[in-house]
């Protein structure tokens, strides 16, 4: 019997839509002999092109448990022109064309952007390819760090709970947060004492407060209590609740000898800029605003096969040891806000369990570049003409590129793509509470001792 030779994978290119020419140009300020626009218009519309790899028999192989990952790249471009025309009026009473109006058709604004006109002030960044307007690319985003951050996250085994990590952090919770019940009791006692605060009239006519604390001292003490409450909630109660729910989910889950599970990692970075410039075209000065936004998003995934026991799913296995070890370092979680230390140590865990096997991995890069140009006004620079109708509307150009790469990069310690992201969420309050906690007690005493030592051993008058 003659067997069929399987066909090898092959690449293909598919496209959909396309940019088309719209809004033909008309003469621009031609009566003054300044500039004459020629051409058919700016290309607008949507265009999609994708290049991928076809694997013959994919459905059959996939149904039998085969893992197939293929490279891919797609580009989607969209350009829109929603602008109106411009109208000028002759205001020179000595001209035979006094009172006449001249109108440009729609589509003149993209043409103005294309020309290298005289820049009177500011900037107006734009990129053109023939009759197509392209979005501006700002300073390069840290693509290598973005890829490394996502891939390092995907190397770790993601379980339902992290009990070993929580146990490693338990001593920090105790050192940061005193007994919750005692703190609450003292908090409400102070509030009740402050509410019963009264004033007595002295013989001199002055009033004296009796009971409670002075308002400034009361607020200072309550801020300390609220700091403790916040810390114990964020680093004590919340992780405990999350681990409890994770343990219950792990206990309900059926763990087979050959589980398949996916580890994922995501990293994003973005950059925006706004520029305004004034350009001169014939008798008119155009004020144009350019808004640019660049964003990159990297998603990494890895498919694992192995035996994930119930204890490992609860975070009590060998794979959790490296991540728990780094948590023993005081305030390592603060460093983790800026550097991916937790993800890096978690990625070392699978090496401690030989039953885990990677079946395949990949990462995708999704980059979006968007630029918008808007004319916010035209002013005549000629005593014979006036702009009687302004150009309105915007021109928008967007390019989205997606790329899938087979295989992920090795784990790596890197500065996060958004190292200051913690300042935009609740971690900023964590940082304030931790700083307030560390600026009291032993640290303040050490600082005061160092200050006394410096004053005793440093004599400015002894310097030459």
Predicted confidence (pLDDT) per residue in 423-455, tens digit: 777 777 777 777 766 665 444 455 455 454 454
314-326 tens-digit pLDDT: 777 777 788 877 7
pLDDT for res 456: 54
Where is pLDDT greater, at 321 or 410? 410
Helix and strand element counts for the chain (H, E): 13, 15
Weakest mean pLDDT among 204-208, 244-248, 324-328, 364-368 = 204-208
Residue 95 near residue 61, CB atoms below 8 Å: no
Residue 350: pLDDT band with limits 50, 70, 90: confident
Question: CA-to-CA distance for 356 and 252, rounded, in angstroms?
Answer: 22
- Residue 247: inside a domain, yes or no? yes
Number of domains in the chain: 1
Residue 328: pLDDT band with limits 50, 70, 90: confident
pLDDT for res 203: 59
pLDDT for res 460: 45
Where is pLDDT greater, at 355 or 278? 278
- Residue 453: inside a domain, yes or no? no
137-174 tens-digit pLDDT: 998 888 999 999 999 999 988 877 777 777 766 665 56
Please say if the pLDDT value at position 84 is more than 90.
no
Please say if the pLDDT value at position 71 is more than 80.
yes
Q: Which stretches of 155-259 are DSSP H helices?
A: 163-176, 180-195, 215-232, 238-252
pLDDT for res 404: 95
Question: CA-to-CA distance for 244 and 251, rounded, in angstroms?
Answer: 11
- Gap between the terminal Cα atoms of the chain: 102
398-409 tens-digit pLDDT: 999 999 999 999
Three-state secondary structure of 97-112: CCCCEEECCCCHHHHH
Question: CA-to-CA distance for 149 and 339, rounded, in angstroms?
Answer: 9
241-269 tens-digit pLDDT: 777 777 777 777 766 656 788 899 999 99
Containing structural domain, residue 366: 10-445
Contacts of 200 (CB under 8 A, 6+ apart): 207, 208, 210
- The mean of the pLDDT values for the chain is 77
- Residue 455: inside a domain, yes or no? no
Which tokens in the block code for residue 412? 């790596």
- Residue 314: inside a domain, yes or no? yes
Region 222-248 average pLDDT: 70
- Residue 464: inside a domain, yes or no? no
pLDDT for res 184: 60
Please say if the pLDDT value at position 99 is more than 60.
yes
- Residue 451: inside a domain, yes or no? no
What 3-state class would DSSP assign to 149? helix
- Residue 120: inside a domain, yes or no? yes
Please say if the pLDDT value at position 365 is more than 90.
yes
Residue 57: pLDDT band with limits 50, 70, 90: confident
Residue 373 near residue 288, CB atoms below 8 Å: yes
- Residue 452: inside a domain, yes or no? no
Region 211-235 average pLDDT: 63
What 3-state class would DSSP assign to 63? helix
Q: Which stretches of 293-441 are DSSP H helices?
A: 310-313, 321-327, 332-336, 341-347, 427-438
Please say if the pLDDT value at position 34 is more than 80.
no
Where is pLDDT greater, at 310 or 388? 388
Angle in degrees, CA 438, 440, 445, rounded to 5: 110
């Amino acid at each position: 019997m003659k067997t069929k030779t399987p066909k090898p994978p092959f690449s293909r290119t598919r496209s959909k839509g396309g940019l088309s020419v719209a809004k033909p140009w008309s003469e621009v300020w031609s009566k003054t002999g300044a500039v004459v626009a020629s051409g058919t218009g700016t290309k607008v519309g949507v265009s999609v092109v994708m290049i991928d790899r076809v694997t013959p028999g994919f459905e059959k192989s996939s149904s039998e448990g085969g893992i197939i990952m293929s490279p891919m790249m797609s580009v989607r471009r969209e350009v829109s022109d929603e602008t109106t025309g411009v109208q000028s009026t002759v205001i020179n009473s000595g001209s035979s064309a006094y009172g006449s109006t001249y109108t440009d058709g729609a589509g003149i604004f993209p043409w103005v952007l294309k020309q290298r006109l005289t820049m009177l002030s500011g900037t107006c960044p734009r990129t053109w390819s023939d009759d197509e307007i392209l979005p501006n690319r700002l300073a390069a985003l840290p693509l290598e760090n973005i890829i490394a951050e996502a891939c390092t996250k995907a190397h770790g085994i993601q379980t339902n709970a992290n009990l070993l990590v929580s146990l490693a952090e338990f001593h920090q919770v105790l050192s940061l947060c005193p007994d919750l019940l005692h703190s609450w009791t003292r908090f409400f006692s102070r509030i009740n004492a402050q509410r019963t605060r009264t004033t007595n009239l002295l013989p001199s006519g002055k009033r004296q407060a009796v009971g409670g604390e002075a308002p400034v001292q009361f607020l200072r003490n309550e801020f300390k209590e609220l700091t403790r409450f916040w810390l114990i909630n964020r680093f004590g109660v919340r992780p405990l609740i999350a681990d409890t729910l994770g343990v219950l989910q792990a206990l309900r889950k059926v763990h087979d000898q050959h589980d398949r599970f996916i580890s994922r990692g995501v990293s994003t970075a973005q950059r925006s800029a706004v520029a305004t410039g004034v350009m001169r075209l014939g008798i008119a000065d155009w004020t144009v605003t350019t808004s640019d936004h660049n964003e990159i998003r990297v998603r990494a995934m890895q498919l694992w096969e192995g035996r994930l026991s119930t204890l490992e799913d609860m975070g009590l296995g060998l794979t959790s040891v490296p991540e728990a070890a780094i948590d023993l370092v005081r305030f390592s979680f603060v460093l983790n806000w800026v550097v991916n230390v937790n993800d890096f140590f978690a990625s070392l865990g699978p090496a401690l369990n030989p039953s885990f096997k990677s079946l395949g991995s990949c990462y995708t890069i999704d980059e979006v570049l968007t630029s918008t140009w808007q004319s916010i006004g035209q002013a005549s620079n000629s005593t014979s003409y006036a702009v009687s109708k302004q150009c309105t509307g915007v021109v928008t150009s967007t390019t989205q590129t997606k790329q899938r790469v087979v295989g992920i990069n090795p784990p790596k310690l890197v500065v996060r793509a958004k190292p200051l992201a913690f300042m935009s969420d609740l971690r900023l309050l964590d940082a304030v509470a931790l700083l307030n906690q560390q600026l009291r007690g032993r640290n303040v005493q050490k600082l005061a001792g160092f200050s006394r030592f410096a004053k005793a051993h440093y004599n400015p008058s002894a310097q030459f």
